[in-house]
Amino acid sequence: MATATAHARILFVDQSGELGGGELALLPVAVHYRERSAVVLLQDGPFRTRLEAAGVKVHLLADARVSGVRKTGALMGILRAGWPVFRQVRALAELARDYDLIYLNTQKAFVLGTLARIFVRKPVVWFLHDILSRDHFGRLQLRIVRTLAPFSDVTIVNSEAVADSLRTLTGRPDAPLELAYNGIDPTPFDLTVNTQRRALRAAIGVPTDAWCIGLFSRLAHWKGQHVLLEAVSQLLLGEHGALERRAFGGAGDRGNRSTERPARLPEIHVVFVGAALFGEDDYAARLRDVVARHGLQPRVHFVGFQDDIPAWMAAMDVIVHTSVAPEPFGRVVVEGMLAGKPVIAARAGGVTEIIEDHVTGLLTPPGDAPALSRALALLRRDPESAREFAQRGREVARRRFSETAYLEVVDTAIERALERAAAKTQVFPEQV
């Protein structure tokens, strides 16, 4: 797609070097604008390699003292990072001088990028990929974002759920926001072949004819891998096999559980695709420990972070999403649909804007393992319905979450921010 704004010089800023959903959402945008733009990363990692391989210029402005400030962190942590933050803000402002617009893709990037405007007047587009609530952020971080939010020229959100959270936080119910659902290219999902499915299954010890459940997500408590473990333990071992939930107690797990018991369902395997990307190693260790203690290793497989998601999804019979806190968007849900698999997802946040229950997939209450067990059992026993959900899901995902539509919204948002800046220059030429 060649557009006028594709020639704009944009400085994208992202705090992470990891390949999280926000970074994967930025990738096609950065590629689209790569001719005259660049990405600033506040941390090094595989995202840099991926950007550079796609021909995108990357500047690294890493400082461990700034990246060490967590999104639920306390005031002291932020104050200790004061001087390094100031230096990063100055460095960002210096870089921004050569660009027409700053595009801020993560919260830390938003804070630093907005402060950088003290030194360099450039229009700002803020892409908000997070639900701004206490499920995900500390009180102080929310206050900082609320204070800085009005300084964004154009704000893009990736779901209505994210828009609602921002409007609630800022107390501006009518704040104009651009809605850009993530666009995902279906081509790699169409190209997977059966030999790959067999090879991947063989590599991890899943028989070709086993019924395989895939959960694709970084390992983190709020992503709810433990909910799937509990659900499958009931399917594999019956009522007495239920795992001890206390091992995974923690903030965000609403424990919203129904009491009806599912029937046993042998011959199933579970594959967790993803790694603990953002310091949730303890949680990942507890998952593995519980699997080992219950002797579930032959049926439960941890394969770590994988690049070829379409191939791994093709190797599954069902894709499950289990977040116990509202998901801002849920790329994996759309990817599961594009892969032509029946998807069961947690009914909260952006996910409810993607799946229509019992039409394009199944929705279960977040944290409700028995309900998830029953949904799995339903798909297993009724392959015809499973096929119908998958087929309708694929059609809807292709139509509603296309990369072209996504890039068009982003393009328009950038154009609008540039136009506003130009209009201001004409009215107050000496101030800009």
Instruction: Map the footprint of ligand UDP across residues 249-288, applying CB under 6 A.
Output: 273-274
* Count of chain residues binding ligand UDP (CB under 6 A): 18
Q: Does 14 help bind ligand UDP (rule: CB under 6 A)?
A: no
Q: Are 390 and 342 in contact (CB under 8 A)?
A: yes
Q: Does 78 help bind ligand UDP (rule: CB under 6 A)?
A: no
Q: Are 234 and 241 in contact (CB under 8 A)?
A: yes
Residue 256, CB-side half-sphere exposure with 13 Å CA sphere: 17
Shortest Cβ contact with ligand UDP: which residue?
21
Q: Does 235 help bind ligand UDP (rule: CB under 6 A)?
A: no
- Reduced to 3 states (helix: H, G, I; strand: E, B; else coil), residue 179 is strand
- Reduced to 3 states (helix: H, G, I; strand: E, B; else coil), residue 157 is strand
- Token pair of 367, please? 């944290």
Piece of the chain touching ligand UDP by CB under 6 A; list 47-55, 202-210, 283-291, 305-313:
305-313
Q: 92: Cβ–Cβ under 8 A, 6 or more apart, which residues?
A: 13, 40, 61, 102, 112, 113, 116
Q: Are 204 and 303 in contact (CB under 8 A)?
A: yes
Task: Pick one of 84, 305, 388, 421: the residue that binds ligand UDP (CB under 6 A).
Answer: 305
The phi and psi torsions of 113 (rounded to 5 degrees) equal -65, -40
Q: Does 20 help bind ligand UDP (rule: CB under 6 A)?
A: yes
Tell me how far apart the alpha carbons of residues 87 and 405 are, in angstroms, rounded to a whole number: 38
Piece of the chain touching ligand UDP by CB under 6 A; list 91-99, 206-214, 231-239, 325-333:
325-333
Q: Does 218 help bind ligand UDP (rule: CB under 6 A)?
A: yes
Closest C-alpha among 245, 323, 231, 307 to residue 273: 307
Q: Which amino acid is residue 287, in one-letter code?
A: L
- In the bound state with ligand UDP, the residue whose beta carbon lies nearer, of 218 and 301, is 218
CB of 191 to ligand UDP, least distance (A): 16
Q: If residue 25 lies in a helix (H) or strand (E), which one and from where to where?
A: helix 21-32
- In the bound state with ligand UDP, the residue whose beta carbon lies nearer, of 26 and 229, is 26
- In the bound state with ligand UDP, the residue whose beta carbon lies nearer, of 8 and 390, is 390
Instruction: Map the footprint of ligand UDP across residues 45-74, applying CB under 6 A.
Output: none
- Token pair of 148, please? 């800085």
Q: Does 342 help bind ligand UDP (rule: CB under 6 A)?
A: no
- In the bound state with ligand UDP, the residue whose beta carbon lies nearer, of 92 and 407, is 407
Residues that bind ligand UDP (CB under 6 A): 19-22, 24, 216-218, 273-274, 305-306, 309, 329-332, 335
